[in-house]
Structure 1
Amino acid sequence: MEQIIFVVWRESIEALLVVGILYAWLRQASVPGAMRYLWFGVGGGILFAIALAAALLGIQQFLGNNGQEIFMLLMMLVAAVLIVQMVMWMREHGRHLHSHLKHETQRALEDRTFWSISILVAIAIGREGSETVIFLYGMSYAQQTTQDWLSFAGAVAVALVLAGFTYSLLQAGRRWMSWKHFFRFTEIMLLLLASSLLLSSVDRMISLGWVPAGIDPLWDTSALLDDTSRFGGVVSALTGYRAYPALTDLIVWLAFWAGIFGLFRLQRRQQAPVTA
């Protein structure tokens, strides 16, 4: 449940940021009839995310037990990869997002191609929505639990309320709650979540006999924090913590973070100004 709230909260804020930027710019431009194309785009993006969720559920229904196992495992790995990709994208483009959206909107208004505003918003909302669907789909398998619709809807509602409140604080521009600090904090949490999904997929592959476990368990830290307890389960779901890790878990975890730091270093090199 905590994972659902965090993911929906984070993705909703990012979607609100895009809509908020475009809404403010269109309101300032005061072009008659242009504002409704913003809402057409929002609706289109939401419909795309719903269609993706329906497609995933439909695909699962046509698969046998082994097919469902493989499909869900694949979705969990895809979710982990998408989280890393999203973090890297925001680190590279986040600082220019406002100016990019403003430029694209201004060009659409000047050319009177208002539908391009709808397409821009639909792509942005659809991207966030589709990522959310895949994240939640993968996490439901990782946790090995089935959430009833009432609990799921409640978690989403809480996340949306928190997202609206957080967005209002960020828009207020308070120093302790700046957009820069928000994205830095959430990117750390997202990467921890990606590592959790990756380790959960490795645990499943070990249980299926696809990969060897090595020394299992490698150590026992349940006396400090038991990952089967309520609090330990939350920490495990959000960070990938294991009280009884196998050697393969440790190797994959180290390889994941080595890869992340390698990507960060490569990105900084590419963004560094070239000096003659």
Structure 2
Amino acid sequence: MTSGLFGQIALVVWRESMEALLVVGILNAWLARHADHASARTGRRFLWTGVAAGLAVSALLAAAMLGFASLLEGDREDLLQIAVTGIAAALILQMVVWMHRHGGNLQKDLVHGAERAMSQRSWWGLLLLAALAVAREGSEAVVFLYGILASARGTSLFTCLVAMAAGFAAAGALYWLLQLGSRRFSWRLFFRVTEILLLFLAASLLMTALDRAIGIDLVPPLSRPLWDTSRLLDDMAGPGGFISAMTGYRARPVLASALVYALYWLTAGALLFLPGHRRTVASVP
């Protein structure tokens, strides 16, 4: 596995794990502050059962996607991989736009759901709230990771697991630092930095899907390479390969690639910076 692919996997796991930890942290903090000792203990049992249920749903989705992909061969498999990689890119862009516009309502919505569950003495509502939140993040991670792996060839399972473990570890460490209230780290900075990284990752996945579509003559290249910067920064190996995997950079782009890349960033900019949408950031519990 190249360092770029390792970085893609670790980034997705890191971001999605952080969002799941944020959800669990908000609910757990609310229980600690607003429930008596016995109720908080009961609530935490349902909370962690909901987390486990959400993870189970994500695992089932992963198994279903792998099982379906194993039934396809040849051109059908190529088409599926192109489709999933493109869908993953679109979903990453949609997730970034949604968090950019509505992230500040996350804590309020979760707390409202927890209050309603406690007022009705129905801890099953808290379980469902946690399960849906974790399942959403886990399902997104499954689709994104499948799209990343579908865009690569000859990946090692062990190295994939190491990259995922690195993402989990980074998320846990950063969440711990944020909980300590360090002045060097903040949720605002976290969301701002990861939004940028994910936008570039979505661009990379989109370009990979386009490259494969051009390779099987599904999409015309429209021209020969417009320029060649491989002598300065080769996109096939070394630092250039990492930058290519993380940003969609191409040393020898054809016209179709240049047009799609430019259109992607114009679309992302329009969605993120349309007037009337104030940026909000989720609060740390």
Instruction: Bin the TM-score by the shorter chain.
Output: over 0.9
Give the residue type in structure 2 aligned to 1:53. A
Matching residue within 78, 102, 107 for 1:98: 107
1:269 aligned to 2:279?
A: no
Structure 1 counterpart of 2:30, from 6, 20, 25: 25
2:231 alignment partner in structure 1: 223
CA distance in 1, matches of 2:229, 2:67: 41
1:138 aligns with 2:143: no
Instruction: Report what 1:151 is aligned to.
Output: 159
d(CA) in 1 for partners of 2:127 and 2:266? 40
Is contact 2:205-2:248 (8 Å) kept? yes
CA deviations 1:88-123 (Å, max 9, x no partner) are 111122112112211110111011121111111111
CA distance in 1, matches of 2:155, 2:29: 38
Amino acid across the alignment from 1:16: L
Q: CA deviation at 1:211?
A: 1.4
Q: How many residues align?
A: 270
Is 1:6 aligned to 2:14, yes or no?
no
- Structure 1 contact 199–240 (Cα < 8 Å) conserved: yes
TM-score (norm 1): 0.94
SS, match of residue 198 in structure 2:
helix
C-alpha distance in 1 between matches for 2:104 and 2:178 = 15
2:101–2:277 CA contact under 8 A, matched in 1? no
Match of 1:34 in 2: 43
Cα shift readout 1:50-84 (whole Å, capped 9, x = no counterpart):
00110001111222212111111111011011101
For 2:91 and 2:57, the matched residues in 1 are separated by 17
Cα displacement (A) at 1:158: 1.4
Instruction: Give 1:145 shift.
Output: 2.2
- The normalised TM-score by structure 2 is 0.91
- Alpha-carbon distance between aligned partners in 2 of 1:60 and 1:208, rounded to the nearest angstrom: 19
Q: Which amino acid aligns with 1:229?
A: A
Percent sequence identity is 44
Are 1:27 and 1:35, in contact at CA under 8 Å, matched by a contact in 2? no
RMSD (Å) for aligned C-alpha atoms: 1.4
Q: Which residue is equivalent to 1:62?
A: 71
Q: CA shift at 1:175, angstroms?
A: 3.2
Q: 1:163 is matched with which residue?
A: 171
